[in-house]
Amino acid sequence: MVSVANEYRDLEISVYTAPALRTVLVDLVNQGRYFLVVDLAGIAFIDSTGLGVLVGALKRVRVHGGEVAVAVPTVRIGKVFRITGLASVFAQFDTVDAAVEFLGRQAANAYA
């Protein structure tokens, strides 16, 4: 499991910043990391490009039996996930610790 460090604190994941996040996530999957936590603490805004990067990462890891969990501690970003329907696609948690605990159980089942 890997917690993706949030380099964009108090900023946004948008068409301008999403390519850097995509690169990090693709590199992690290429290294064999298939259980990822994306910490969205401090993110004030995420657009469709940013959401697309997260969906792309989810598709990449699921091919390998993995999962992406998102830590969404803010109401604003959580609302974006609900409005877009992605709340039913991603495992969402209020904290990174809860997301890591969930992925630990998922990984144990995947490798059992």
Does the pLDDT value for residue 97 go beyond 70? yes
| Collapsed DSSP state (helix, strand, coil) of residue 37 | strand
| Pairwise CA distance, residues 60 & 22, whole Å | 11
Looking at domain 2-106, does it have CATH number 3.30.750.24?
yes
Domain ranges of the chain: 2-106
Predicted pLDDT at 11? 84
Query: Is a pLDDT exceeding 50 seen at residue 2?
Result: no
pLDDT value, residue 12 = 87
